[in-house]
C-alpha cells in the first residue's frame, strides 16, 4: 500500500502578480521505497490581495497621513497600522489537496469609522449578517427599501444635521403609521458634491438607507403607506417641510428563495457599504482638500452609530448572536477556521506600498492557531 507524508512548502516564489507555493509529498510505496513528489499550488488569494486589499491599504495610508497633518496622531497611527499583516488559510484535505483560494483568518484591522480598509470589510460583514438574518426570517415578510434625505448642508452644519436626523429617525419610527413595519435595518451615508459646475458644489448630502420588513399582505390592505405619506412622516419628524426627496420601493417579493435572500443581502450590503466613500475624501493630488474634508467627516461621524437593526431584524440578530457590525470582528466574516482540519497558512506583510509574503506554515488538525481579530 502506498502512503503519503506531507512536508508542505519548500519554497514560495512570485511569477508576475501570482504567487506559487511549492511543497513536497514524501511517498512511501509498498516496497518501502520513499520518493518525493513536488506540487505547486497557485495561491489565488494573492490576486484578491493585489486587486482588493492593496488599493484599500493604499488609501488607508493616505487617510493616516491626513490624520497626522490635522493633529489626530493616535488615529493616524492606528490607521497606518491597519492591515499591516494578513494571514490566509488554505484548507488541506485528507487527500492532501490544498485549496487555491484561502480564507482570511488573521489580520490587524483598525476599525476607524473612515478607514477605507475597514469600511470595505464592514460591508462584507454586513452582507454576511444580513444573509444569515434573511435565512432565519425566511419568507414571512416582504421588504421595502426606503431612502430618507435632507437638504444638502455645509461642512460646518454637518454634525448638527446628523444630530437632528438621528432625533428625527427616533420620532419617525414611533409614528402610528410606522407600526406596519415589523423590523428594519438602517444605514447612514454621507456623500459630498464634487461637481465644480454644480451650485451645491462642496456641500454634504447625508441620508439614511433603510430596509423595512412589512407583512406579506402589505400593499393589499389598509396598512399600505404611499410615497407621499412616507415623505409627509419624514418632513414631520424632521420639522422640515422643504424636504422633497424620499424614495420607497419594494425590495423583494413574497416568493422568497435562498437566491432572493442572498440578492437582498447583497443589496443591503451595497447600501450599507460605506458611510462615506473614500473617493469623496481622499484626493492624493490635493492634501489640503483631503484634510479639510477629513476634519469635517471625522468630527461629524465621531461616536455615531452608522448602522442599526430594529424589530424582528434585531431579534434575529440577537438570536443568531451576531457581533457588532461596526466594532466587532472584521476578519472572520462567516466563520472561524475548523480546528479539526489541516490548513496551510500564508502570511503577508505590507512593505513599501505592497503586500509581500512573509511566512508559510502548516497548521495540523487540532493545533491551536492564534487568531487576531
Instruction: Give me the residues that bind Zn ion (CB under 5 A), please.
Output: 82, 109-110, 115, 117-118
Q: Within a 10 A sphere around the Cβ of 101, how many other Cβ atoms?
A: 12
Asked if 212 and 144 touch (Cβ cutoff 8 Å), the reply is yes
Q: How far is the CB of 72 from Zn ion (least distance, A)?
A: 14
Considering beta carbons, is residue 189 or 278 the nearer one to Zn ion?
278
Cell numbers 479539526 correspond to what residue? 340
Considering beta carbons, is residue 90 or 273 the nearer one to Zn ion?
273
Q: How far is the CB of 213 from Zn ion (least distance, A)?
A: 31
DSSP-based three-state secondary structure for 57: helix
Considering beta carbons, is residue 109 or 208 the nearer one to Zn ion?
109
Cell numbers 519548500 correspond to what residue? 10
Q: How far is the CB of 346 from Zn ion (least distance, A)?
A: 21
Cell of 321: 448572536
Considering beta carbons, is residue 90 or 113 the nearer one to Zn ion?
113
Plot region of 36 (φ>0 → left; ψ -120 to 50 → alpha; else → beta)? beta
Phi, then psi, of 115 in degrees rounded to 5: -65, 125
Cell numbers 461616536 correspond to what residue? 303
Considering beta carbons, is residue 118 or 275 the nearer one to Zn ion?
118
Cell of 151: 437638504
Rounded to the nearest 10 degrees, how much is the dihedral formed by the CA atoms of 161, 167, 168, 174? 170
Q: How far is the CB of 122 from Zn ion (least distance, A)?
A: 9
Q: How far is the CB of 267 from Zn ion (least distance, A)?
A: 25
Sequence length of the chain is 373
Burial class (CB in 10 A: 0-12, 13-18, 19+), 13: exposed
Considering beta carbons, is residue 67 or 234 the nearer one to Zn ion?
67
HEC string of 145-192 equals EEEEECCCECCCCHHHHHHHHHHHHHHHCCCHHHHHCCEEEEEEEEEE
Burial class (CB in 10 A: 0-12, 13-18, 19+), 1: exposed
Q: How far is the CB of 321 from Zn ion (least distance, A)?
A: 24
Cell of 309: 437593526
Considering beta carbons, is residue 31 or 302 the nearer one to Zn ion?
302
Considering beta carbons, is residue 53 or 343 the nearer one to Zn ion?
53
| Buried b / exposed e along 279-304 (16+ C-beta atoms within 10 A) | ebbbbeeeeeebbbbbbbbbebbeee
Chain-centre distance of CA 287, in angstroms?
26
Helix (H) or strand (E) holding 127: helix 116-137
Q: How far is the CB of 101 from Zn ion (least distance, A)?
A: 23
Q: How far is the CB of 70 from Zn ion (least distance, A)?
A: 17
Considering beta carbons, is residue 110 or 231 the nearer one to Zn ion?
110
Considering beta carbons, is residue 154 or 351 the nearer one to Zn ion?
351
Q: How far is the CB of 80 from Zn ion (least distance, A)?
A: 10
- Maximum distance among all Cα pairs of the chain, rounded to whole angstroms: 88
Asked if 260 and 252 touch (Cβ cutoff 8 Å), the reply is yes
Q: How far is the CB of 55 from Zn ion (least distance, A)?
A: 14
Amino acid at each position: 500500500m502506498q502512503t503519503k507524508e506531507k512536508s508542505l512548502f519548500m519554497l514560495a516564489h512570485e511569477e508576475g502578480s501570482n504567487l506559487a507555493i511549492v511543497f513536497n509529498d514524501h511517498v512511501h510505496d509498498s516496497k518501502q521505497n520513499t520518493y518525493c513528489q513536488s506540487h505547486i499550488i497557485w495561491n489565488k488569494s494573492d490576486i484578491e490581495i493585489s486587486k482588493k486589499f492593496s488599493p484599500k491599504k493604499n488609501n488607508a495610508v493616505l487617510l493616516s497621513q491626513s490624520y497626522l497633518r490635522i493633529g489626530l496622531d493616535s488615529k493616524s497611527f492606528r490607521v497606518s497600522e491597519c492591515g499591516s499583516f494578513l494571514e490566509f488559510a488554505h484548507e488541506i484535505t485528507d487527500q492532501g489537496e490544498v485549496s487555491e483560494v484561502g480564507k482570511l483568518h488573521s489580520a490587524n484591522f483598525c476599525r476607524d469609522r473612515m478607514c477605507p480598509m475597514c469600511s470595505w470589510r464592514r460591508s462584507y460583514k454586513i452582507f454576511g449578517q444580513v444573509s444569515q438574518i434573511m435565512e432565519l426570517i425566511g419568507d414571512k415578510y416582504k421588504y421595502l427599501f426606503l431612502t430618507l434625505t435632507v437638504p444638502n448642508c455645509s461642512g460646518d452644519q454637518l454634525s448638527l444635521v446628523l444630530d437632528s436626523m438621528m432625533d428625527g429617525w427616533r420620532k419617525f419610527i414611533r409614528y402610528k403609521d410606522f407600526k406596519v413595519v415589523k423590523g428594519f435595518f438602517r444605514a447612514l451615508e454621507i456623500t459630498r458634491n464634487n461637481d465644480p459646475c454644480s451650485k451645491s458644489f462642496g456641500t454634504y448630502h447625508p441620508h439614511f438607507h433603510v430596509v423595512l420588513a412589512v407583512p406579506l399582505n402589505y400593499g393589499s390592505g389598509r396598512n399600505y403607506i404611499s410615497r407621499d405619506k412616507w415623505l409627509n412622516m419624514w418632513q414631520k419628524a424632521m420639522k422640515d417641510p422643504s424636504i422633497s426627496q424620499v424614495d420607497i420601493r419594494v425590495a423583494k417579493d413574497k416568493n422568497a428563495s435562498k437566491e432572493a435572500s442572498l440578492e437582498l443581502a447583497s443589496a443591503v450590503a451595497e447600501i450599507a457599504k460605506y458611510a462615506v466613500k473614500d473617493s469623496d475624501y481622499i484626493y492624493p493630488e490635493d492634501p489640503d482638500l483631503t484634510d479639510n474634508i477629513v476634519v469635517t467627516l471625522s468630527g461629524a461621524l465621531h461616536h455615531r452609530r452608522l448602522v442599526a437593526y430594529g424589530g424582528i431584524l434585531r431579534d434575529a440578530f440577537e438570536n443568531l448572536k451576531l457581533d457588532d457590525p461596526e466594532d466587532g470582528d472584521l476578519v472572520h466574516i462567516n466563520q472561524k477556521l475548523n480546528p479539526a482540519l489541516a490548513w496551510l497558512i500564508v502570511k503577508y506583510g505590507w512593505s513599501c506600498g505592497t503586500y509581500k509574503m512573509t511566512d508559510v506554515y502548516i497548521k495540523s488538525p487540532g493545533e491551536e492557531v492564534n487568531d487576531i481579530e
